[in-house]
């Protein structure tokens, strides 16, 4: 699968699927021109590079939306050894954009990392790749070998005197490693348990050295910023929301997949691009930024534009751009039960409120779903959540609580129905009909 559709494709312009990932194809679509301009053409200083990225208002594409140029400027200038890390541990349910970036355009990530390495003065970089997409880890290693052979990596890059090398590191099945300090622990060959912050990675990062960590899509956008110019990149999006963004649309749409649209594109337009609702069913709610972002009901999301500020105003988060679309066949209690199981399973176990609390949350939602809910359970969930969120080292505790708060805010009556009637508001057969697999299985009567 490649990018399905785009409005003003910039990041994904010229992609040719599996045939177009290699160095030759990347150079043919203008690849490595930005690096050449910076190192040997215009000979920009690291400060000039950071200034241009600040001008573009490229914000972190991993979920937090932190301004990239500002993050780079936090790196201490005098430190002799600094590192750069790319976070491709893409495991937030609903997100699958970085997978396509590594599949079809790995050199854009490499070029972006070399430029970032130059800007922050890093000696080496690592790309931490989600273990479940191992075939793309191998492809990234092949792309690194191409870049090294072409003189883009290693000693004295393009004769500029700048030395920088880049390596791939794979995860092996731990959601928590998407958290940047857990990811650093993992590169160091340990359990991926998050660190206290502060100190932030820009002060004490990989191997205790100052480290900048950005998301894959953020790095991939960096060459584009220099190809277009920071101002032009900013103008692609909305003020304070520079550029375009990849949105991963999953769930009950006719064409699930990745879509590149300018930040600020109306949700309704994105839904239309994704082929509209599967089987013409009615939209019930959308989880707009990965499984940890609070759900937004149909009528509210139809008024939203897809950018950090609009989604925040609707009480949720744009996050990583993972848009999970749910139609009327979804029982929100069952949906939340499944998400809660995930956070319980993936809690790293370090902090008591999260390790114990995520299990309690799951147990309570499980008993509501299975007809054993008690009237006081909904308030208990919120109270428990309040004792988890903000009381843990990392944000996984918050991530486990936010979907619950969102569901109870917008779909509380469905939970109350469950508790009172000991069954789903949405009949089981209707829920099953929402699954294409089930429909095909029944049609084929294969089992």
Partner 1 sequence: MLSQESLSRIDREIAKYPADQKQSACMAALRIAQEEKGWLAKEAIEDVAAVLEMAPMAVYEVATFYNMYDLHPVGTYKLTVCTNLPCQLSGGVHAADYLKQKLGIDFNQTTADGKFTLKEGECMGACGDAPVVIVNNVRLKSFMTPEAIDKLLAECK
Tell me the CA distances in angstroms from 219 to 93, 128, 391, 400, 427, one per residue in order. 21, 13, 31, 28, 45
Between 52 and 414, CB nearer to partner 1: 414
Between 94 and 243, CB nearer to partner 1: 94
DSSP string, 277-292: BGGGPPEEEEEBTBTT
Between 107 and 252, CB nearer to partner 1: 252
CB of 294 vs partner 1, minimal distance in Å: 14
CB of 152 vs partner 1, minimal distance in Å: 17
CB of 13 vs partner 1, minimal distance in Å: 20
- Do the strands 244-251 and 257-262 form a parallel or antiparallel pair, or are they unpaired? antiparallel
CB of 42 vs partner 1, minimal distance in Å: 32
Between 17 and 41, CB nearer to partner 1: 17
Distance separating alpha carbons of residues 447 and 441, to the nearest angstrom: 7
Between 225 and 396, CB nearer to partner 1: 396
Between 132 and 398, CB nearer to partner 1: 132
Burial of 13 (0-12, 13-18, 19+ CB in 10 A): middle
Q: Are 327 and 278 in contact (CB under 8 A)?
A: yes
CB of 95 vs partner 1, minimal distance in Å: 6
Alpha carbon 292 to its chain centroid, in Å, reads 11
Q: Scanning the structure block, which residue is given the tokens 């000693």? A: 155
Instruction: List CB contacts of 284: < 8 A, sequence separation 6 or more.
Output: 297, 298, 326, 327, 328, 330, 332
CB of 367 vs partner 1, minimal distance in Å: 19
Between 83 and 233, CB nearer to partner 1: 83
> Which residues pair with residue 259 across a beta bridge?
5, 247
CB of 343 vs partner 1, minimal distance in Å: 11
Residues of this chain that bind partner 1 (CB under 8 A): 1, 90-96, 98-99, 126, 130-135, 167-175, 186-192, 207, 248-252, 256-258, 287, 291, 322, 324-326, 330, 335, 338-339, 342, 345-346, 348, 432, 434-438, 440-441, 444, 446-447
Between 186 and 244, CB nearer to partner 1: 186
Q: Are 182 and 159 in contact (CB under 8 A)?
A: no
Whether cis (ω within 30° of 0) applies to the bond prior to 199 is yes
CB of 41 vs partner 1, minimal distance in Å: 31
CB of 328 vs partner 1, minimal distance in Å: 12
- Do the strands 283-287 and 83-88 form a parallel or antiparallel pair, or are they unpaired? unpaired
Tell me the CA distances in angstroms from 47 to 69, 85, 116, 299, 386, one per residue in order. 10, 20, 11, 46, 43
Distance separating alpha carbons of residues 242 and 244, to the nearest angstrom: 7
Q: Scanning the structure block, which residue is given the tokens 């299990």? A: 359
Helices (H) and strands (E) in the chain, counts: 20, 12
Between 113 and 324, CB nearer to partner 1: 324
CB of 270 vs partner 1, minimal distance in Å: 14
Distance separating alpha carbons of residues 231 and 236, to the nearest angstrom: 9
Alpha carbon 170 to its chain centroid, in Å, reads 17
Between 193 and 392, CB nearer to partner 1: 193
């Amino acid at each position: 699968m490649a990018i399905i559709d785009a409005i003003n494709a910039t990041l994904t312009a010229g992609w040719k699927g599996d045939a177009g990932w290699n160095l030759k194809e990347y150079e043919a679509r203008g690849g490595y021109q930005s690096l050449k301009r910076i190192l040997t053409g215009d000979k920009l200083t690291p400060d000039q590079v950071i200034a241009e990225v600040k001008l573009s208002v490229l914000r972190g594409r991993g979920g937090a939306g932190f301004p990239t140029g500002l993050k780079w400027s936090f790196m201490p200038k005098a430190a002799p050894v600094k590192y750069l890390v790319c976070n491709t541990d893409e495991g937030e349910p609903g997100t699958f954009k970085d997978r396509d970036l590594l599949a079809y355009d790995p050199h854009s990530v490499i070029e972006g990392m070399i430029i970032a390495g130059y800007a922050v003065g890093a000696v080496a970089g690592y790309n931490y790749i989600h273990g479940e997409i191992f075939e793309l880890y191998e492809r990234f290693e092949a792309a690194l070998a191409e870049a090294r052979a072409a003189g883009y990596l290693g000693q004295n890059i393009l004769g500029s005197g700048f030395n920088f090398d880049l390596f791939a590191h794979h995860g092996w099945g731990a959601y928590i490693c998407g958290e940047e300090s857990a990811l650093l622990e993992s590169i160091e060959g340990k359990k991926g348990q998050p660190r206290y912050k502060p100190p932030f990675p820009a002060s004490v990062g990989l191997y205790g050295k100052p480290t900048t960590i950005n998301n894959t899509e953020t790095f991939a956008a960096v060459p584009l910023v220099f190809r277009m110019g920071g101002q032009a990149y900013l103008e692609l999006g909305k003020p304070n929301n520079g550029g375009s963004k990849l949105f991963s649309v999953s769930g009950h749409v006719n064409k699930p997949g990745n879509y590149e649209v300018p930040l600020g594109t109306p949700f309704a337009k994105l839904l239309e691009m994704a082929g509209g609702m599967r089987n013409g069913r009615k939209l019930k709610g959308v989880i707009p930024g990965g499984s940890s972002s609070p759900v937004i009901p149909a009528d509210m999301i139809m008024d939203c534009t897809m950018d950090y500020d609009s989604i925040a105003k609707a009480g949720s988060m744009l996050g990583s751009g993972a848009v999970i679309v749910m139609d009327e066949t979804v029982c929100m209690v069952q949906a939340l039960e499944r998400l809660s199981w995930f956070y319980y399973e993936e809690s790293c176990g370090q902090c008591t409120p999260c390790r114990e609390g995520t299990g309690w949350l799951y147990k309570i939602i499980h008993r509501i779903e299975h007809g054993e809910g008690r009237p006081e359970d909904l308030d208990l969930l919120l109270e428990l959540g309040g004792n988890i969120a903000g009381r843990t080292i990392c944000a996984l505790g918050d991530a486990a609580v936010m979907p619950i708060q969102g569901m109870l805010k917008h779909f509380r009556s469905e939970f109350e129905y469950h508790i009172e009637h000991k069954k789903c508001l949405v009949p089981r057969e209707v829920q099953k009909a929402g699954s294409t697999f089930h429909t095909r299985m029944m049609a084929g009567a294969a089992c």
